[in-house]
Structures are given as structure tokens and as C-alpha cells.
Structure 1
Amino acid sequence: MTAQTAFTLINPLTKALAFKIFSFEDDSYFSKQKNYNYYSMILVTKGSGKLRADFSEYEFKENSLMCFSIYQPFMIKSEGEFTGLLINFHPDFFCIHKHQHEVACNGVLFNNIYQSPLVQLQEQELILLSTLVDQLRTEMQNVAIAQYELIVSYLKIFLINASRIKLNAHLLYEFKNKKEPFILKTLKDAIEEYYKSKHSPSDYANLLNISTKALNRISKSHFNKTLSNLIAERIVIEAKRELYLTAKPVKKIAYELGFNDEFYFSRFFKSNAEVSPQIYRETVGFARTDA
């Protein structure tokens, strides 16, 4: 008799997936590109290989955590043995935007265009996160009063600890290695200030008084992404937030993000998110009923 490997909660209103924990023993589930309308976290306990996410490729090894936002495309190819756990949760089940003050994982685990989506775990960190997953699985089998609230509480604790681990790992990396060039800090500040009005790499090269070619080379070296990729990802993250949290018409969102043509914006969004703005809003939720 095969042991159960998946535990799933379904939203009774939408009949769509709300929360899921899935154990895997090879990379067959991830060998084709995934593009979910929910958040995904992968805890790799054994194995190594390559992760393809958005426009970049990363190498990973065992005892690592990978985190992907809504409709963020990713694909994994392992080198031999590959086991671990996949956690999925829909924003209708737990919204990181609405609970940012509680878990502070947005911009750390999810929607950070400047850092890798994976983090290497120390043994004790892996044990901590694995223990929390075990508690989640136990509670999912316990159909009792306040089950939903308890599962959300365990999920919050997982997200908080995972965010702390990733922040500490980044600080340690910065301490041990040469810090990123000052011009990249200036670039990040410029993108945050002007991404709604300046969409061209040359715009930022002019702002920073550097050639577009040189700035793109630095971006590729430190962020593993071209300057065009960074700008596009930042625009799409804001577009997703507006589509999810507001009932604004797509035309208005497009205009606020610097697109005069709604149809060009829709093509741009679909090219980067691999789903249209309308489908994104319909499948992700929150303000969709008011749209």
C-alpha cells in the first residue's frame, strides 16, 4: 500500500485549491514549467540540480528552500536523487499583501526581483521548517473546530521563520563577500522611483550617467538578470498587486503604469506573466467580484 503523499484543502466557495502539501521523490512533477495561480514553496531535502525561474537559471543543492509568487514561472531539473516537500497556498486562503505587517515575507520570500528565489538552509533551519510542515500535515488530517485558523497560524510561523532565515543568509553573504557596487543600489532606487514612467534600459543608464551596455553587464553579473528583465519584473509585480487588491479597470492600471495603450500593456503583461491581466484577476481573486 502506497503512503499518502499529498494533503489538500479545497475552497468550498470556488472549488479551487486553497492549501496543499505534496511530497515528491523525483523531479518529474517539475520537469515541465509550472505557472500556478497560487504561491509555491519547495523544501529540498535531498538532491541538486538547476532551477529556471523567470529569465534566470540557478544552481541548487540539498537542504534548500525555493519560493515562487503567483504565476511566477519555474522549472526544476535535478541531477539524480531529488526529494522534498511542496507547499502551495492560494491568496484567498492567506494573502501576503493583507498580512504583510504580520509576516513581512513580501519582498523577502516573494516578489524580490534582485535576489535568487532560493536560499541554502543550515541543518537546524531545515529541521525547524520540516517540523512546521509536519505540524501542518497533522492538522490537515484533524478535521476539528478552528482547523482553518490553526493551519493559517502554522503557515504564518513557517513564513516568518523562512523570511528570517533568508534575511540572515543574505546579511551573512554580504558580510563575507564584497558588497554590491554602489551603482546597483542607485539603480534599485531609480527603478523603484521611476518604473511607472521609465521603461527603457537607456532611461536608467542616462539617470546614472553610464552606458546602457555597461549597466546591463553589471546587472547581469550581480542580479543574474538583464536590465530589461528587472524593469519588466518590477512593472509586472505592481500590475499583479493592482489586479489583485483593487477593482480598477485594466485600462486604468495600464495608464498608471505608463502604458497609453491598454492592449500593448496586456501583451506586455502576458509576455512576462504568461497569463493575461483578465485571467490573472479572475483566477487570483480578492477584488475580482467587484471588478
Structure 2
Amino acid sequence: MDIYNTNTLINEQTGNLAFKLSSFEDDCQFCSLNRFNYYSLIWIKEGSGTAQIDFAEFDFTAGTLFALAPYQPFVLNEKEKLEGVVLNFHPDFFCIHKHHEQVACNGVLFNNIYSPPYFCVDDGTRREFEMILSQMKSEVQKADLAQYELLVSYLKIFLITASRAKAKQQPESLQDTPDEKEPFILQKLKDLIETHFKSIHSAGEYADMLNISPKALAKITKNHFNKTMTNLISERIVIEAKRELYLTDKSVKEIAFDLGYDDEHYFSRFFKNNADISPKMYRDTVGFARAMA
């Protein structure tokens, strides 16, 4: 591994990583399965490869920025040598849920089951990123007065810039389809999932509500989301569970019941199978009602 220009802040209360900015030039920096307990923004400046994230696989080239939430599993398999920048921050350093109205990145960059967790950085955005990252690097090395507040401000600007860039690209994903009916079905499907994911966990029931066959629905979700219907439902449930574990002091049993699971142990197994970590461990390592303070 060859990581250089690493700038890290540690949370003195927990001993965990709070903020980290690093450059990388490495043959296998992310080639094994990664699940971090903090947010990761990985900007691929040079190289290409294949990314495996959650249940899907994507090809990527130079200029791609990946946005990954805590414990979101990912592997980057390079075809051409990768070089780039990584920006990590823990939810205790900056909570995207608490500051959603300020940065609007939750549901755009992070925690969007309908959109790939990456976008292509154009020349204008690249210049803005370079300027912000330079300011971050300078500030993280100072340990000066109000360092935390200034770094959070730079992080907000970076997230807003990235969210705007990705939002401009999102509408394109539904346009190049030969079936004019499919964009309507996709939007209807999103609305149904957002309305019913806590109570309806069966792919077949969503197909019934859309008046199409389960096979037709499976084809649509595979073509447009590169996921199965079961994957979409599971991811949406896990995202909500993570949000509740972090933002509230509800017990795992209460969260399970709110998400349509009468059996706490069954829900815990479901969560661990999808997040590769137990609900308790997620709360212990990512946070517990700290965002409400």
C-alpha cells in the first residue's frame, strides 16, 4: 500500500477517526472488501476498473467520485492503476441527517437505493474540488483556533458541490429507454417503496400494486437499478434502521417493530446479513443519539 499526504483528526473522546484527507497511488488500495464506520468520498483521478457496491457491479473510469455511507460494502477492482483522493468523515464529526437541509446530500450522494453511489466529475466541478481540498489540507495541518468549525464549513461546501453535480446527472438515467411506460412505472415503484417499505417486504406485492407480473418487475429493476426487487426493499429497510440506530435512543426491538418485524432476533439477523454488522455494534461504532445533542 502506498498512501501519502494523509491528514487525520481523531475524536479525543472516542479515539475514533473523525476526519481524514488522503491521496493514494496503489495497485490494490481497495481491492478487498471494505466496510468503514464512517462516510467515504473516493475520487478516482486516474485509472479505471470495476466497482462492487452493495448488490451491484459498475464499471468506472478516471473522473469518478464514489460516495459511500458507513458500513456500505465496496470493492474497487482496478483495470488501470488507480490514483486519487479519499475524504473520510465520521457521523460524529458531521451528521448528514441533522444537517440535511443545509447540504441536501442525504438521498443524493448517500443512501439512495435508486441511483448508483457515484457520478462523473466534470471539469468545472474538478476545479472546485481541487480548491476546496487544498483549503481542507491546509486547515487540517494547522490545529488552529476553530479548526473543527472551519473544516466542517469546507466539508459542507464539498458535499453541496458534489450533490449539485450528481443531481444534474440523475435525470439522464431514465431518458434513454425504448419503453415510454417504464419511467412512469419506475417513479410509481419508488413512491410505493417509500410509502410501504416498513409494512410490505414482498416483491410480489409490489408487482401486484403496479399491475405487472413479478417477472416484468424483476426485469425493470435489473435494467434500471442493476438490483433485484428484494435488494431494493432490503436496502431501504437497512437505511432506515441505520438512521434510527444513530438518531434515536429506541431499542432494537422498537426499531424492528416499526419496520414491520415482530421478532427482534429475526430482524437482527436480517440487518447483519445485509450490513455485515449487528444493530448493536452499528450503534456502538457509528453513534447513538449523538446527533440529537
Q: By the TM > 0.5 criterion, same fold?
A: yes
**Aligned-pair distance for 1:288?**
6.7
Q: Residue 163 of structure 1 corresponds to which residue in structure 2? A: 163
RMSD after superposition: 1.8
Structure 1 partner of 2:53: 53
Structure 2 unaligned blocks of 5 or more: none
The corresponding residue for 2:85 is 85
What whole-Å deviation, never above 9, does each CA across 1:101-155 have from its counterpart, x for those lacking one?
1000000000000001110111221121122111101100112101111000000
Q: Distance in 2 between matches of 1:4 and 1:229?
A: 37
Q: How many residues align?
A: 289
1:214 is aligned to 2:216: yes
Query: How far apart are 1:181 and its partner, in Å?
Result: 2.4
1:98-177 alignment, distance < 5 Å = 98-172=98-172, 174=174
CA distance in structure 2 between the aligned counterparts of 1:100 and 1:12, rounded to whole angstroms: 26
Contact 1:282–1:288 (CA under 8 A) maintained in structure 2: no
Paired residue for 2:228?
226
Task: Return the alpha-carbon distance in structure 1 between the equivalents of residues 281 and 3 of structure 2.
Answer: 36
Deviations 1:28-78 (A, max 9, x none): 220111101110000111011111000000011001111001110001011
Runs of 4+ in structure 1 over 3 Å off:
171-180
Give the secondary structure class of the aligned counterpart of 1:115: coil
Identity %: 53
Per the alignment, residue 35 of structure 2 pairs with 35
Do the aligned partners of 1:92 and 1:286 also contact (CA within 8 Å) in 2? no
Give 2:21's aligned amino acid: I
Deviations 1:188-245 (A, max 9, x none): 1110011001001011011111111110111011111000000000000000000000
Deviation per CA, 1:223-271, whole angstroms, max 9, x where unpaired?
A: 1100000000000000000000001010010011000110000000001
SS of match in other structure, 2:111: coil
Per-residue deviation, residues 61-103 of structure 1 (Å, max 9, x unmatched) = 0011110011100010111221000111000000000000100
* Separation in structure 1 between the aligned mates of residue 150 and residue 166 of structure 2, nearest angstrom: 24
Give the secondary structure class of the aligned counterpart of 2:26.
coil
SS at 2:267 equivalent = helix
- The 3 A distance-change label for structure 1 pair 173 and 219 is closer
Deviates more, 1:269-278 or 1:124-133: 124-133
- Please tell me whether the aligned partners of residues 3 and 26 of structure 2 are also in contact (alpha carbons under 8 angstroms): no
Distance 1:289 1:192, change over 3 A: closer
Give, as a single letter, the amino acid of the residue that structure 2 aligns with 1:41: L
Instruction: Find the aligned partners of 1:263 and 1:173 in 2 and give their Cα distance.
Output: 38
The Cα shift of 1:171 comes to 3.3
Aligned letter for 1:85?
A: V
Distance 1:136 1:169, change over 3 A: same
Query: Offset of 1:3 from its aligned partner?
Result: 9.1
Q: 1:66 to 1:284 in 2, by over 3 A?
A: same
Contact in 2 for aligned 1:247/1:288 (Cα 8 Å): no
* Structure 2 residue aligned with 1:204: 206
How far apart in 2 are the matches of 1:136 and 1:29? 22
- Give me the whole-angstrom Cα distance separating, in 2, the residues matched to 1:155 and 1:41: 11
Structure 1: give runs of 5+ residues left out of the alignment: none
TM-score (norm 2): 0.94
Q: CA deviation at 1:176?
A: 6.7
CA positional deviation for 1:287: 1.6
TM-score w.r.t. the length of structure 1 is 0.95
